[in-house]
Structure formats: C-alpha cells, structure tokens
Copies of this chain bind each other. A is one copy, B any other.
Amino acid sequence: MNRTALEALLAEVAAGRVTPVEGLERLRHFPFEDLEFARLDHHRSLRQGQPEVVLAEGKTAEQVAGICERLHAATGGFLCTRASPEQAERLRARFPEVRWDPLGRTAYLPRGDRASPVGDPVLVVTAGTGDLPVAAEAAVTAEAWGANVERLNDVGVAGLHRLLHESEQLSRAGAIVVVAGMEGALPSVVGGLVDVPVIAVPTSVGYGASFGGIAALLGMLNSCAAGVTVVNIDNGFGAGVAAARIVTRVPGGP
C-alpha cells in the first residue's frame, strides 16, 4: 500500500464516506510494501499490537540494518533476534538507544507508543547455565510483547530442593516458560507443581545422544504433566510470544 492509497483512504474517512471502523478494517487486510529482498507488513503491528521482528541469522549486517531502518520508519521500533555482535554493532551505530543483549543475542528498540506491561508475570525458568541464552531471548521477547517478566535460574531436576524452595515464585506466575536441555525433564516437574500454562523450550545444550536438542524435545513432548506445550529447539522467541499472549490476554477482547 503506497502513500497515495493511504492518503486517499484517510481522505475518505475524513469525508465520512468511510467510517473509521471500515477504515481500520481495510488497513488490516492488505497493506504491505515491496523491498528488494523482503515484503514488510508494517500493519501487522497494528493487527497484533507488537513490534515487527527480524531474524538476523543468515542475513548480512547490511540487510539487517536495512530492514530495521524501514521498520523503525514505519512503526517506531523493532526486535532483532539471533543477532551477531557485528550485526548489533551496526544497529547500535545507527540506533544508539537500541538494547543489545549479547547473551540472548537480541537487539530491541521499543516503540514510543508502547503501553506499560500488564498482567501476572511470565516466569522464565532454566535448568542449567547453558540454557541462559535461550531464556534471555524468551524474556526480552515477552517483555517486548507487553508482559512483566521474572526469572528463576539453575533449578535442574538433579537438585530438586532448589526448585521446591521457590514454590512461591512459581505460584505467582500467570504463565511459565521452562528452558532445559539434556533430558528436558524440568517442565514435567514444574507442570506437576502449578496450574498455569507451562511452555517448554528444549535447548541444544548437551552432547552425544542429546542430538542437538532432540532428546530434550522428545522428553517435553512426552511430558506426563498435563498442560505442558512445546516449541522448537532453542526457540526462546516463540515461547516468549506465546507466554506474553497468555498473560496479557483480555477476556472478551480480540
């Protein structure tokens, strides 16, 4: 949808020939723009209420910066995931206020019109030190999607007392993201202690028969605790979005 068409539409609205409701409807359905290498749907953020996201992996620093430039112009912010230090450096040169997290590899520039976080907290739990990068990605994402976020680290199942010690924090959460590699048993244990939705994220932490996260993934899919759902290996981003949607959901709303 080019500028002309947008102006025309707004003119129609202004003139009363198109009601605001109709105008919003139209905007929801077809606006997008042709770049050389990717179609950006600037209005998705209107439709879904969150920042546009760029998966930096597999793109050049040049491409990442170009896409973020556009997104910033269109929506006022962006969330860039799986960014390398080089890509981040490039973004920070252009957007000094971008929040760069080298552990989770996210570069986040919040939109100016962003609302305050709402709802019960999303609790992001990790089994071991190696799971921290994925957890960081999940936490930043959930925050960008409007949620309050809390953290609980290094409570793997081989030392149960650590986890049981924190039952209060568990019970306070509105949704729990459990990040674990190796045998992926932690979501089952957490799922047996709480009643809120638990989103399990397998990580590629491990070696040998962990097969890059397959063992953890299978463990989580076969969890004996009801109500546990799973995302892709190392997909902290997806878990963060899903958890934020749960805690920020307004009953009766869209």
Contact = CB atoms under 8 A, between A and B. Distances in A.
A183 B222 contact: yes
A70 interface: no
Contact of A195 (B48, B154, B231, B252): B48
Given A154-B39, A226-B237, A232 B208 contact: yes
Interface string A27-42: 0011010000111010
A53 B226 contact: yes
A209 B217 contact: yes
A130 interface: yes
A214 B220 CA distance: 13
Nearest to A237: B226
Contacts of A111: none
A41 B231 CA distance: 29
A219 B229 contact: no
Quickly give the copy total for this chain. 8
A206 B227 contact: no
B120 A252 contact: yes
Contacts of A12: none
A251 B153 CA distance: 24
A249 interface: yes
A159 B192 contact: yes
A185 interface: yes
Interface of A: 29-30, 32, 37-39, 41, 44, 47-49, 53, 57-59, 63, 119-120, 127-130, 132, 153-162, 164-165, 171, 174, 182-185, 188-189, 191-193, 195-197, 199, 202, 204-235, 237-239, 241-242, 245-247, 249, 251-252, 254
